Amino acid sequence: MTRNKRTITAVRRDLIVAPLLVMALMLSAVWGLTVGASRVSLPAVFDALAGAEASYESLIVTTVRLPRIVAALAIGSALAVAGALMQAMTNNPLASPGLLGINAGAAFSVVLAVLYLEPMTGSAYAWFAFAGAGIAAFLVHGLGSVGPGGATPLKLALAGIILSSFIASLTTMILVTDRATLDVVRLWTVGSLTGRQIETVLPLSLHIVAGLAATLLIARQVTTLGLGPDISLSLGQNLILWRLICGALVVLLAGSAVAIAGPVGFVGLVVPHAARIMFGTDYRRVLPYSALMGAMLVLLADTAVRGAFSGVDLPVGVTMALIGAPFFVYLARRRLAIS
Amino acid sequence: MRLMPEVFALSARGLSVGYSGRRVIENADLDIRANALTALIGPNGSGKSTLLRALANLLRPSAGTIALHGAPIGTYARREFAKHLSFLPQSPKAPDGMSVRDLVRQGRYPHRTVFTRWNHADEAACERALTLTGLRDLTDRMLDTLSGGQRQRVWIAMILAQEAGVMLLDEPATYLDIAHQLDLLSLLRSLARNEGKAVVAILHDLNHALRFADDLVVVSDGTVELTRARNDDAWTGSIAKAFSIDARIVLDPTDGTRIIVPTRSFATPLMENE
């Protein structure tokens, strides 16, 4: 084997791995439709999807499980891609919508809207999520840029952690003092896919699809951004413009995900790392694979709990924390060992 | 190029640069010529990197002007500037899992717009950069599998693919072992002499600077001094003074290169008795 074959094998690998992942994703989605409090047989699932008459089973599949599966796929890919974008634009391997306060900001803003405004449709809350995510991003960046040296990865991470815990306590403060709001959003604030309505999930998922498409279009720019500010500037990249574009996409993706399922952590941190370990640093690969793997992770995490323990419904945010926290420790230790 | 010898590749007049109020470089004049390797030397904290970053348009000077090929650098659009001047920061972080080819291709950024596709000129520039840096056999290797010396060559190949006439490098030889240092310096010199580039590099080893560089720029205490003729006695005194040392100069018997032999430091009075 000469070394020249390596890029050819990489492309060939994409041609095999990507379709396999898509297929696995579809199979998992179908499996997800069958498991839950009551088991629905495969033929019944297909009947329900084909629009058969309104039996009890088809009702469950189309009104309870289908929105849940769509939501899992949408938020998984959105959070993973948002994380990949953030890691590239901040040159910070620990950046993610969860750690840098984007999710917390979006969640807080939605809780405020639930508390003080008239009830509205689920997708209208997305605008509050965007606003909250955007404000949190600006605050974290501002806080992280104070002092000499500008926004270093470490300062940014610290600012993110400080701001997220601050905002999370504000959210908790509101909720413990307001019983009614707590009842509405309790499950949502830990990140949950339970009881989503298709009328809410669908428009938000379309936002996410648009965000993902736009992200893929600018993948080449993201790779250059990932080389760090000195190099990208000396290569002639308009750093401010591309950071703003990436930031807007992060707000769109993470904000939509929070509006659907609340703040789900760790997906945005774990998945881009796994994608880079498996497929390299070229964001033309990292971004699409992050989308696929993120969708897969959230779907499996949500479905596996329902499948394994019948009747138990753990919020997906909790499941992700159980999976993600050990990985985060591993990652932090590895980074420390390197530097 | 020969028609207008008075137009330097890069020149600075009355240049002052600093960070948040503290001036690091004061009122510096400097001319960098093409076809030459210029070594920037000076003690730690003297402002070498600051000067280089200002020349690379990464740091806005507080006073003075910088001209690239005779035109003030402010008149260049960002992308246009990058076509004429490339910069390699100190120990750039190689992203894991990126191949040599992928990184070198990044050098073509200023030559492409958001919508242009990869073309023959891009491919040719990358091939040429890989050939000049002797990396043709390593093209498909992942960066994290290379040695420090090889990786530094890849970064240089990346800025070569940029096809800029002026190349600025911040401590390209630091952290390399001696063989790779010599290797790198020969490469930089040949890029200057055979490719007509104006190559400016911050170097730590004085003797490497004396052996390989055509021009020396001594930076110390915020002042910048350019020494053109390196076989001139004037610079020995200025170098010794800049580094706060007493030094003896001996000549290499085989080629007459001057070798600086530091004998005593007068930077810290505590050491006086030794």
Please report whether residue B4 resides in a domain: no
* A 199-238 near B (Cβ less than 8 A): 221, 223-224, 226-228, 230-231, 233-238
B204 touching chain A per CB within 8 A: no
Q: Which residues have C-beta within 8 Å of that of residue A293, sequence separation ≥ 6?
A: A21, A80, A271, A274, A275
Of A5, A148, A237, the CB nearest to B109: A237
B91 touching chain A per CB within 8 A: no
Of B95, B101, B140, the CB nearest to A281: B95
Chain B positions in Cβ-Cβ contact with residue A3 (cut-off 8 Å) = 137-141
What residue has token string 């960098």?
B32
Please report whether residue B144 resides in a domain: yes
Q: At what angle do helices A239-261 and A102-116 cross, to 10 degrees?
A: 50
Mean pLDDT, chain A, whole residue set:
85
- Residue-level pLDDT at B267: 66
- Residue-level pLDDT at A132: 93
- Residue-level pLDDT at A1: 35
Longest dimension (CA), chain B: 68
The fraction of chain B above a pLDDT of 90, given in percent, is 50
Chain B positions in Cβ-Cβ contact with residue A148 (cut-off 8 Å) = 19-20
Please give the Cα distance from B142 to A280 (Å, whole number).
9
CA distances from B6 to A31, B9, B29, B85, B226 (A): 75, 10, 15, 19, 16
β-strand pairing of B85-88 with B245-251:
unpaired
Chain B positions in Cβ-Cβ contact with residue A231 (cut-off 8 Å) = 88-89, 92, 106
- From B223's Cα to the closest Cα of chain A, the distance in A is 24
Q: What residue numbers bound the domain in which A157 lies?
A: 72-338
Please give the Cα distance from B226 to B217 (Å, whole number).
4
pLDDT digits over A32-81, tens only? 888 877 778 888 888 888 877 778 888 888 888 899 999 999 999 999 99
Contact at CB, B96 and A281, closer than 8 angstroms: yes
pLDDT digits over B48-70, tens only? 999 999 999 999 999 999 999 99
B97 touching chain A per CB within 8 A: yes
Best of A7, A90, A216, A234 to disrupt the B interface (most B CBs within 10 Å) is: A234
Nearest to residue B242, comparing CAs of B221, B271, B269?
A: B221
Asked whether the predicted pLDDT for residue B206 surpasses 50, the reply is: yes
What residue has token string 């979006």?
A106
CB-based burial label for A19 (10 Å; 0-12, 13-18, 19+): exposed
Cα B150-B153-B156 angle, rounded to 5 deg: 160
| Residue A97 DSSP label | T
* Chain B CA closest to residue A147: B20
Task: Please say whether the beta carbons of A153 and A145 come within 8 A.
Answer: no
Please report whether residue B70 resides in a domain: yes
Please give the Cα distance from B153 to B172 (Å, whole number).
9
Please report whether residue A79 resides in a domain: yes
CATH number of the domain where residue B232 is located = 3.40.50.300
CATH number of the domain where residue A238 is located = 1.10.3470.10
| 3-state class (DSSP) for residue B63 | strand
Which helix (H) or strand (E) covers residue B26, if one does?
strand B22-32
Asked whether the predicted pLDDT for residue B231 surpasses 70, the reply is: no
For residues B129-135, give the mean pLDDT.
Answer: 92
Q: What residue numbers bound the domain in which B144 lies?
A: 10-273
* Chain B CA closest to residue A239: B78
* B 205-234 near A (Cβ less than 8 A): none
Task: Please say whether the beta carbons of B131 and B100 come within 8 A.
Answer: no
For residues B182-198, give the mean pLDDT.
Answer: 93
> Residue A248 CB: number of other CB atoms within 10 A?
15
pLDDT digits over B18-54, tens only? 877 778 888 889 999 999 999 999 888 888 999 999 9
Please report whether residue A202 resides in a domain: yes
* Chain B CA closest to residue A6: B140
Task: Please say whether the beta carbons of B210 and B229 come within 8 A.
Answer: no
Residue A88 or A197, more confident: A88
Task: Please say whether the beta carbons of B264 and B257 come within 8 A.
Answer: no
Instruction: Return the amino acid letter for A290.
Output: S
The runs of H, that is alpha helices, within chain B are 48-55, 78-84, 100-106, 120-132, 148-161, 178-195, 206-212, 234-242
> Residue A188 CB: number of other CB atoms within 10 A?
25
Residue A282 or A6, more confident: A282
Please give the Cα distance from B237 to A73 (Å, whole number).
70
- Residue-level pLDDT at A339: 43
Please give the Cα distance from A247 to A47 (Å, whole number).
42
- Residue-level pLDDT at A61: 83
Of A228, A233, A236, the CB nearest to B93: A228
Query: What is the ipTM, given to two decimal places?
Result: 0.88
Please report whether residue A13 resides in a domain: no
| 3-state class (DSSP) for residue B249 | strand
Taking one residue from A and the other from B, the number of pairs with CB-CB distance under 8 angstroms is 82
> Residue B8 CB: number of other CB atoms within 10 A?
19
Please give the Cα distance from A126 to A203 (Å, whole number).
10
Contact at CB, A228 and B89, closer than 8 angstroms: yes
Nearest to residue B122, comparing CAs of B92, B100, B101?
A: B101
Of B89, B95, B137, the CB nearest to A226: B95
- From B88's Cα to the closest Cα of chain A, the distance in A is 7
Which helix (H) or strand (E) covers residue B248, if one does?
strand B245-251
Cα A165-A327-A196 angle, rounded to 5 deg: 65
B99 touching chain A per CB within 8 A: yes
Of A148, A234, A281, the CB nearest to B87: A234
> Residue B126 CB: number of other CB atoms within 10 A?
23
Contact at CB, B99 and A238, closer than 8 angstroms: no
Q: What total number of domains does chain B contain?
A: 1
Asked whether the predicted pLDDT for residue A271 surpasses 70, the reply is: yes
Contact at CB, B78 and A228, closer than 8 angstroms: no
For residues A258-276, give the mean pLDDT.
Answer: 90
Please give the Cα distance from A35 to A31 (Å, whole number).
7
A313 touching chain B per CB within 8 A: no
Of A221, A230, A282, the CB nearest to B102: A282
Please report whether residue A50 resides in a domain: no
Chain A positions in Cβ-Cβ contact with residue B82 (cut-off 8 Å) = 234-236
- Residue-level pLDDT at A3: 43
Task: Please say whether the beta carbons of B168 and B85 come within 8 A.
Answer: yes
Please report whether residue A190 resides in a domain: yes
- Residue-level pLDDT at A305: 84
Q: What total number of domains does chain A contain?
A: 1
Please report whether residue A225 resides in a domain: yes
Please report whether residue B155 resides in a domain: yes
Please report whether residue A121 resides in a domain: yes
B95 touching chain A per CB within 8 A: yes
Chain B positions in Cβ-Cβ contact with residue A283 (cut-off 8 Å) = none
Please report whether residue A25 resides in a domain: no
| Residue B118 DSSP label | P
* Chain B CA closest to residue A238: B78
